[in-house]
Amino acid sequence: MDKSNTALATRIGAYTALLGSVCAISGAALMNIAGADLDTALAGGDIAGYLAVAGEGRHLLVMNLTLWILMVLLMGVAATAMTTLSERRPVLARIARYSYWVGSPLVIAAYVSWLALVVQVAPDTSPEALLLAKTIGWFASRADWVATILIIGIGPTLIALAGREEWVPVWLFRWSLVTAITGLLNFIAMITGGSGLTSYGFLIIPAGVGWMIAAGIVLYRRIGTA
């Protein structure tokens, strides 16, 4: 790849990784302010309580999920740019890209169905609404976590494997191994049920988003030298 395209991929990778991470953190903050946690409601069987709270904090949750959709789009672009920089291991780069290209549409579908739950169902707590909410909520939650494993669990590991000895430093590669481990923990939490997704399964979020921020900083420092 020529120098101008390398520089462009570096800039795009840096800015989209950092902006995507900001969207992730901002969206999570809005969800916490709204006080409506779908995973906690599903684990505790309190869908009625979730619908009531979601109805009250609807505007915050709509902004939350909109930011998360933007986050996924930005992180997908970031991953594509990062893998473009990885020329020595093209097969691993393509596999990494595939992980994001599968995870991104999956999680967007999850967030849109989640939006339907917030906008169209909440705050109705009739038996029909509860059944619909439980079904949609289960899909939204599981699709979200499966995509999360692909995007900030094994995705960073594949990117780091592809970019080793080119633009990925050793410490960032080691960090990516941690994201893979948290992805495995999240998978275990999904298949075992209970409160795992709100405890040890949640470790993937700080580990994975933190890795994306770190990768964005690494690329940002390369701007002008790439």
pLDDT score for 14: 98
Number of domains in the chain: 1
226 has a pLDDT exceeding 70:
no
Supply the mean pLDDT for the chain.
Answer: 95
Instruction: Tell if the pTM clears 0.85, that is, is over it.
Output: yes
pLDDT score for 97: 97
Tokens in use for 193? 């049920």
Question: Average pLDDT in the 109-127 region?
Answer: 96
Q: What is residue 126's three-state secondary structure?
A: coil
Condensed to tens digits (0 to 9), the pLDDT of residues 133-170 reads: 999 999 999 999 999 999 999 999 999 999 998 999 99
Phi, psi (degrees; rounded to nearest 5) at 36: -115, 105
pLDDT score for 225: 78
* Rounded CA separation 197/124 (Å): 26
Lowest mean per-residue pLDDT among 36-45, 195-204, 208-217: 195-204
* Rounded CA separation 123/143 (Å): 23
Q: What is the extent of the structural domain holding 18?
A: 3-222
Q: Would you place residue 108 in the very low, low, confident or very high pLDDT band (cuts 50, 70, 90)?
A: very high
Condensed to tens digits (0 to 9), the pLDDT of residues 163-203 reads: 998 999 999 999 999 999 999 999 999 988 877 888 899 99
